[in-house]
Amino acid sequence: MQEQNDVSNLRRVIEEEYKQFKEGIAAAKDVALPGNYDSITISGMGGSALPGNILRIFLHRIWRLSGKEGIEVYQNRFYSLPPEAHKNSLNIFCSHSGNTEETLASLDEAIQNHLPSIGMSSGGKLEQICKERGIPFVKLPIPFENFQPRMATGHFIAAFHTVLANSGVIESDEENLLRCGESLEAIIPSLEKKGSEIAQRLHGKTPVIYSNTYLKSLAMIWKIKINENAKTPAFWNYFPELNHNEMVGFSFPQGKFIVVMLRDSEDNPKNLKRYEITARLLEEKGVETMILDISGETMYNRIFSTLVLGDWASYLLALQYGIDPTPVDMVEKLKKMLTEE
């Protein structure tokens, strides 16, 4: 049932996120750029950049468990490419709209320097440039009207995986990706229920999201979803680094915070000790805390179930605030002002 304030029906998007793996694989099935690369450089901004963070987790785990030497994965969130992008790197340019100015500027640099490149978008200038220049291109699906880039992580990850497998950079793990989609479909209702409980506790407070070093991108993405869906400030950090600095800032908290800790049972045992102890220290300073245990049989399941849980929590928090979770008016206003000056 569509909520009154949910004008673009973001609920339906979250309920059907599990379909994105199959859709992303299909979109990239014929795209490849084989080569013996030293690294991968992913250029993108905002919601189009988030999947790059998740890809790094998967690739580093694959290479660590296989015992094989992997290649570096770099991320570019600027108008120009980092030096590593010029050193036998496979450059992937991601802009869901196809019109992100920073990403297009980086693509132009790659073209001028004849760097191996692949484009990913739902259309726009990026698609046009790739077609004109003969650059391999993945056209991402738009399953719903007003579909937002931040909700396309499954599409991007499946497309990344397929392109890299097609190019000989990694071995295909398509079967496990599709199984992850099936598993997500089964637990969507339970994740919504848990997300509702979290949203109730977040209401009226400034969330601070923590995770471990290895999965720190999950904390960052939760923070971003709260910003964009619930239109409220949120912050993130990771263990053990936060214990050496940020924690001290709560000695005299200047606002009403709630710290949400995403705890992974596969973490280093020494790091796991920090969650309960940190929670106890923060609560002594009057800061509310929550510890959420990450669950799932595979790394795909663990990561995506946590991401969908964050989607539900931020979406339901938006409804509690009586706002439409989909539009990001300040971002659109900024883009307009940039073109006018």
* Across 151-175, average pLDDT: 94
* Across 90-110, average pLDDT: 97
Task: Give the global pTM.
Answer: 0.94
* Across 190-201, average pLDDT: 98
Find out whether 156 and 120 touch, Cβ atoms under 8 Å. Answer: yes
More confident residue, 114 or 339: 114
Distance CA 181, CA 179 (A): 5
pLDDT at residue number 340: 82
Q: Which of 27, 36, 46, 56 is nearest to 303 (CA)?
A: 56
Q: What is the mean pLDDT of the chain?
A: 94
Lowest-confidence pick of 48-57, 115-124, 270-279: 48-57
Q: How far is CA 183 from CA 180, 295, 297, 300, 308, in A?
A: 5, 12, 10, 10, 12
Q: Which of 23, 102, 127, 228 is catalytic?
A: 228
SS3 content of the chain, % helix, strand, coil (to 5): 55, 15, 30
Compute CA 73 distance to the chain's CA centroid, rounded to the nearest angstrom: 15
Find out whether 107 and 119 touch, Cβ atoms under 8 Å. Answer: yes
72 catalytically annotated:
no
Sheet containing 206-212, strands listed edge to edge, beginning at the edge strand earlier in sequence: 235-239, 206-212, 257-263, 288-293
* Across 241-261, average pLDDT: 97
> Mind listing the pLDDT tens digit for each residue in 112-139?
999 999 999 999 999 999 999 999 999 9
- Reported confidence tier of residue 250, pLDDT bands at 50, 70, 90: very high
pLDDT at residue number 36: 94
pLDDT at residue number 219: 97
Evaluate if residue 65 carries a pLDDT over 80: no
Q: How far is CA 9 from CA 15, 16, 80, 196, in A?
A: 10, 11, 36, 17
- 3-state DSSP call for residue 331? helix
> Mind listing the pLDDT tens digit for each residue in 308-322?
999 999 999 999 999
Find out whether 93 and 43 touch, Cβ atoms under 8 Å. Answer: yes
96 catalytically annotated:
no
Evaluate if residue 341 carries a pLDDT over 70: no
Q: Which of 150, 151, 103 is nearest to 124 (CA)?
A: 103
Find out whether 47 and 94 touch, Cβ atoms under 8 Å. Answer: no
Evaluate if residue 21 carries a pLDDT over 90: yes
Evaluate if residue 69 carries a pLDDT over 80: no
| DSSP secondary structure letter of residue 92 | E
What radius of gyration do the chain's Cα atoms show? 20
Give me the amino acid identity at 64: R
Distance CA 113, CA 115 (A): 6
- 3-state DSSP call for residue 242? helix
**Six-digit token pair at 313?**
């929590």
Q: What percent of the chain has pLDDT over 90?
A: 86
* Across 146-174, average pLDDT: 94
pLDDT at residue number 59: 84
Q: Which of 244, 270, 336, 340 is catalytic?
A: 244
Find out whether 234 and 226 touch, Cβ atoms under 8 Å. Answer: yes
pLDDT at residue number 96: 96
pLDDT at residue number 68: 67
- Reported confidence tier of residue 1, pLDDT bands at 50, 70, 90: low
Give me the amino acid identity at 80: S
pLDDT at residue number 297: 86
> Mind listing the pLDDT tens digit for each residue in 27-38?
999 999 999 999
Q: Is the dihedral of CA 143, 149, 153, 159 positive or negative?
A: positive
Evaluate if residue 63 carries a pLDDT over 80: no
Alpha helices in the chain (DSSP H): 10-15, 20-28, 50-66, 101-112, 124-133, 153-166, 174-202, 216-230, 269-284, 299-320, 329-340
155 catalytically annotated:
no
| DSSP secondary structure letter of residue 148 | -
Distance CA 250, CA 258 (A): 11
Neighbours of 47 (CB within 10 A): 23
